[in-house]
Amino acid sequence: MGFVAIVSCSLGSEMTRTIAVSGASGKTGFRIAEEVLAAGDQARLLLRPQSQIPSSLEGCEQHRLTLMDANALDDSLRGVDALVIATGARPSVDLTGPMKVDAWGVERQIESCQRVGVKRVVLVSSLCAGRWKHPLNLFGLILVWKRIGERNLENSGLDWTVIRPGGLSEREDDLEEEGVLWTGADKQDSDSIPRRLVARCCIEALNTPDSIGKILEITSSKQQPVVSLQEAIASC
């Protein structure tokens, strides 16, 4: 079952936003929270009860709870300006994990946003979400359940953006020289992207109103020109 906890940090001015990040102890989630802080906003962390976070986030407000606890989830999201959903099923012998986390867990977070008035949501999903004939579906039909989570968000009435990254890497070096290939849904089949760039793409989506209502697939390489999301949308 998915879990969430919330903590709040700030590195910005008086006009900062508060951005909740669910799954903030994960390899992508903690980087998203760090990028929220780097942008001068407050990060409110949604964490599993026993999860660990890096020292860079220790000053943040933390809410530790399960996604199935509607009251605790509502309390953790009240007053935030946006939510970035970075929860995701982990490899496990429990093949129901993707259903519980990537479909039900996303749905619970969407419902909480609707109840407490959070309008802006960015969901981190996956390249090839919704495709049946894919090797990753050997892990509990994970891409199928991710697509169900996406559709729940699309039909929510919220201001949503879905980010679909390719294969994820831990690489942190020379990222300023690496361009992101931004495309619409079902345009890319493979290639990879560092988790740090995924985190930056999530923040860029939050800051780009034209990304609302769009599924954005992202991969990167040093051969790819560096363009902003706004430029990519304008060129489509």
Q: How does pLDDT run across 153-200, given as a tens digit for each residue?
A: 999 999 999 999 999 999 999 999 999 999 999 999 999 999 999 999
Q: How far apart are CA 78 and CA 61, in angstroms?
A: 13
Q: How does pLDDT run across 122-161, given as a tens digit for each residue?
A: 999 999 997 878 877 777 788 999 999 999 999 999 999 9
Question: Which element (helix H / strand E) includes 74?
Answer: helix 70-77
Nearest CA to 48 out of 23, 84, 30, 80 is that of: 23
What residue spans define the domains of the chain?
3-235
Q: How far apart are CA 121 and CA 110, in angstroms?
A: 8
Q: What is the CATH number of domain 3-235?
A: 3.40.50.720
Question: Which element (helix H / strand E) includes 168?
Answer: strand 167-169
Question: Which element (helix H / strand E) includes 177?
Answer: none
Q: How does pLDDT run across 45-96, given as a tens digit for each residue?
A: 999 999 999 999 999 999 999 999 999 999 999 999 999 999 998 767 678 9
17: pLDDT strictly greater than 50: yes
Whole-model pTM above 0.85?
Answer: yes
Q: What is the pLDDT of residue 158?
A: 98
Question: Which element (helix H / strand E) includes 218?
Answer: strand 214-221
